[in-house]
Chain A
């Protein structure tokens, strides 16, 4: 071996000329390495491939002319973007290449943004400056940011767009879930506009829980909330039997009675179950509450809690008091004060108490609580952060109970702990953490949720959008969300509207629910007499809707108070209610309106004016529209419905004055029933 080396050395560097020659050759060879690496680079390989592919196409000339060789770069200093992706992805801007099956040569699908203005990595992540496939796409030690999987791509929209977008259903759902499923009770999420994401759910106060339910139920609930109600949003803390026993002991012992929330009524329920069913239906309880039917399907809304097994939960005295006036127990509840009379309360209570499941509490046998158990329960309640969501007397809401998530979407992979078999990427970490939070180690407190796989993807998308860029984006580049309004009506009527929980369904001045029509301009829209009648006995305007306005048994003075307030305050500046009369239109004008209605505009496709011939029922029924709406509102609505109610389905027909006037005359002449011919005068 040694001789061989010596002879090799002799042969190469034996004399100075030889050594000089060999060293020069080596030097030249090493000089050639850089150009050779460049020549054999991947991007050049893909560009050659592109030119080969393009050659056989019919539009080869155009494509070749538009092709630029060499490394391409999109530089956007204010976003910190240097993207060289277009060096290999050559066809992104060529519309004709949409038939190429895969990247890197396929056209970019249509999105609202231009490639030159946004680059690639703003949406797709990855390493923009890299010029090899692996460095650009994958995560390596030097390059932290891998390509974002397609299913989370909407998270990038959320970096700049803080308001919900039509094209990003997954991101919108994820953001909703974050505030609706209680995530932000424990995890702080600071948004870049300085606000903090607020929870939209309303976990009940536990300070008076002994009024409402038994310790046995609390125990069973803590052990498995979904056993009581499958739609429950309360997560499972996987408590041991002893821990659940002690927490239930503490909560019951800690509870103080609410004055007036005791059995002042006869606790006897009406024996007639059919009466209960019809009262439950008439009161439209199902608009907010769901009940699981025999087939296992949920029937009803998700504003209030599921009632499938409510009879196993509540105390009869409490239920009656609650039905009589829910605001005594919980002043902030979304449930309206229905003003049921005593017999209605008894009927409904009997109906609800029959919805019981004997299996739920059969195996729960708890001995009387000892002071040690209660003390231990109190410690557990603090440890698990129960007070982050629930109000509990004597326990302060913990601050920053769980890690802040304001920049979770930029968390370096090196700071994460992965489970065996998991992909080492941030999206996989977030998704798995939501799916099985306790599997990441011993003693973790995050409870087990019952999210569907699609919900987990949505949540992950929303969390990925909370990152360094979303936090440091110049305000000029962000698309701000309209801040949630906290509008409250004033005075006596305002109190009444809170009591009736109008805002649980209706939206007024940007505040409230979206189940029922927006009432911001109701005073310009409807006639006073109609509103009085409607509040007395709400009929239905839209035959195909299953959620309807319930009847509240309001007194005449309450109705007057409400009507006066609505008619005076909720007026649109665009509609002068008294500018057009409710009668006195000429027969000719009405006839012209009828022709326009059935002919040119074919309104009968969606509306019913003559219930014998018309069938359309997408829009409200118009048989009595002349007794319901003001003429000025109808006229303005014809001209531009979206100006009065943004987002309404009614198409804007850009009607001229003449058509709008004729149609208004025709519609206002529809007074319904015997009053139909009034317009003849």
Chain B
């Protein structure tokens, strides 16, 4: 059988390459800031809900309370702990961003690889379908999807995954198109490797860098998408906390409690910024084609 080493670089160089990449990454202050922001977001989403009170418990008599030792960021319009709701909202965002991205990759990567590797009519059909999905402005599509299948986190994730799919397919296809012309693929084909094995053992590992960069674009798109849909009332349903939903209810109380509109929005912006910075950094480091 063919040897994996044909596809990926020899192990020894891989180690030094890893070190080199890490150094190159750490030399970019903005990329490091991005990594820190993303890490903070992950910590808030994973550990925040464990350390804060129940985000659903109301103290109606102490609505709009200012920050105190009891409620570090005060309370919302129904006297619920704001910090707890932000932390649970972070978890919802993380789930929406990561799961929708994972789903889009799970479906999109094989399609993109096959489309780029086989070309011909398959490629033609895939790209036309891709254009069709792209032709729907995403939010209008997602609104319709939520309306048909009901508004819930699960359906938001599916809708987002469909929305993310075209770009995943396009990127993977692009990688496959370039890689299939490389000598080692020709070698593998000459050795009698089957198409499936070429795609997943040769094309995929060599596309990983581009895909990692794409993931740093897809995850924040998912986070913002979930927030937008929940904001429109077509995503996560109340009283479950979601950043988008928190913004909707904060809109009513903009005069008396603007902070309720500021916290969740700022968190969405910071999380997205973190992923964008991280993505820019990774692109510079991993995907030299694009480097300026």
A, B co-complexed: no
Residues of A participating in the B interface, judged by any CB pair closer than 8 Å:
none
Q: Which residues of B contact A (CB under 8 A)?
A: none
